[in-house]
């Protein structure tokens, strides 16, 4: 039975630190306690644990714009976070996990702000048939969490831009995101702010759990009760290093196939890669270009390379003098892999935080 409620809010928008804090709280949640964790990320695409990063996100464009790619512990699909979005996490012992009760906190908070809301299926919360909250779930050891997004003033055009990847380019066996109609709560209730939503969430948390949670809304800028984080420094560093590492973000990708086709003034090119653990296990390049030796050499250079823009560009171009035609051809091939593609859908994804 839940006898203690704690509201925790982080003061950072670094996604790796925030996901690390979530994981730490999952390890340390006290018995008979529900922690209500509220957090925000700077421009970030967060993918589910079993998703292919390259199939879900236009990573090069995201990072060029100062954004981050992050992978969470829970399953489900990809979602976009920015300053117009508020994330929530309910953390508690497994025996006290109650999805209906946890969801009621969100529904009541939003309804108290004058917006009709309802759960649809297992993962979404909607208003008037449009989703403003995607949810996901995770259990580890004796504890569990339920987390999700709350779109208030998220840049939905940016979400559509970063999350739109051509299905013809990457064929993956990873979990795919499902498209859904999205809406900002700020469009449903003009003038709504994230601080106002936080206040309503804290009040609803107290009402649903029948207690006065520690760190009420008026004290939200404070981090948390010291007993939760005493001696946490080294563990938090380890968790943040784990979630920010390329091995976690990319190495978790399931094996996938990559294909791209394009015609240049110097010839047509068709790329076929087999990618495993973010490395190109096999590379084939088909082309009607006049210099067949260059095409064979380019394919050989790509084998074993990390599947990322910097490495592939370096592998392909390093052998040719600057300004040479082969250097230009190699640059064209490298650009094929990560060049922008036409979005399949302008809406964002479903079933995730």
- CATH classification of the domain holding 305: 3.30.390.50
CA-CA distance, 59 to 303, in Å (whole number)? 21
pLDDT at 312: 85
Q: In which domain, by residue range, is 306 found?
A: 256-338
Q: Are residues 218 and 137 in the same domain?
A: yes
SS3 296: helix
Low-confidence ranges of the chain (pLDDT < 50): 168-170, 175, 178, 216-223, 341-353
Q: Are residues 173 and 306 in the same domain?
A: no
Q: Are residues 185 and 311 in the same domain?
A: no
Share of the chain above pLDDT 90, in %: 48
- The number of distinct structural domains making up the chain is 2
Q: Are residues 227 and 277 in the same domain?
A: no
Q: Are residues 314 and 248 in the same domain?
A: no
pLDDT at 276: 83
* Mean pLDDT, all residues of the chain: 85
Q: Are residues 143 and 198 in the same domain?
A: yes
pLDDT at 5: 94
pLDDT at 167: 54
Q: 291-315 pLDDT, tens per residue?
A: 878 888 888 888 988 887 778 888 8
CATH number, domain containing residue 166: 3.30.930.10
DSSP annotation of 127: E
Q: Are residues 281 and 247 in the same domain?
A: no
CA-CA distance, 148 to 170, in Å (whole number)? 27
Q: Are residues 36 and 117 in the same domain?
A: yes
Q: Are residues 20 and 120 in the same domain?
A: yes
Q: Are residues 176 and 145 in the same domain?
A: yes
pLDDT at 339: 67
User: To the nearest 5 percent, what fractions of the chain are helix, strand and coil?
Assistant: 35, 30, 35
Q: 13-42 pLDDT, tens per residue?
A: 999 999 999 999 999 999 999 999 999 999
The phi and psi torsions of 211 (rounded to 5 degrees) equal -155, 170
CA-CA distance, 170 to 341, in Å (whole number)? 12
pLDDT at 349: 32
Q: Are residues 107 and 165 in the same domain?
A: yes
Q: Are residues 293 and 308 in the same domain?
A: yes
CA-CA distance, 48 to 53, in Å (whole number)? 9
């Amino acid at each position: 039975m839940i006898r203690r409620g704690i509201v925790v809010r982080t003061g950072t928008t670094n996604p790796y630190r925030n996901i690390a804090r979530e994981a730490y709280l999952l390890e340390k949640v006290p018995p008979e306690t529900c922690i209500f964790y509220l957090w925000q990320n700077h421009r970030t695409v967060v993918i589910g644990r079993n998703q292919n990063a390259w199939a879900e996100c236009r990573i090069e464009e995201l990072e060029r714009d100062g954004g981050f790619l992050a992978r969470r512990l829970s399953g489900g699909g990809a979602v976009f976070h920015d300053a117009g979005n508020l994330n929530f996490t309910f953390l508690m012992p497994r025996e006290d996990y109650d999805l209906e009760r946890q969801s009621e906190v969100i529904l009541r908070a939003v309804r108290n702000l004058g917006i009709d809301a309802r759960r649809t299926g297992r993962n979404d919360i909607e208003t008037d048939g449009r989703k403003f909250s995607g949810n996901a779930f995770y259990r580890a050891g004796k504890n569990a969490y339920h987390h999700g997004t709350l779109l208030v003033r998220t840049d939905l055009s940016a979400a559509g831009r970063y999350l739109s990847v051509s299905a013809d380019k990457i064929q993956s066996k990873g979990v795919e995101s499902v498209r859904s109609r999205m809406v900002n709560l700020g469009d449903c209730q003009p003038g709504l702010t994230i601080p106002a939503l936080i206040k309503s969430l804290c009040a609803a948390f107290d009402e649903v759990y029948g207690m006065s949670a520690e760190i009420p809304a008026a004290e939200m800028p404070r981090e948390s009760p010291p007993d939760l984080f005493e001696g946490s420094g080294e563990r938090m560093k380890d968790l943040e290093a784990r979630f920010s590492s390329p091995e976690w973000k990319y190495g978790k990708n399931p094996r996938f196939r990559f294909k791209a086709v394009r015609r240049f003034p110097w010839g047509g090119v068709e790329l076929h890669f087999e990618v495993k653990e973010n490395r190109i296990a096999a590379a084939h390049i088909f082309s009607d270009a006049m210099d067949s030796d260059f095409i064979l050499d380019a394919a050989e250079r790509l084998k074993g390379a990390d599947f990322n823009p910097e490495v592939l560009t370096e592998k392909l171009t390093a052998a040719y003098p600057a300004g040479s035609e082969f250097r230009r051809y190699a640059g064209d091939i490298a650009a094929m892999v990560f060049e922008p593609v036409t979005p399949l859908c302008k809406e964002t994804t479903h079933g995730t935080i």
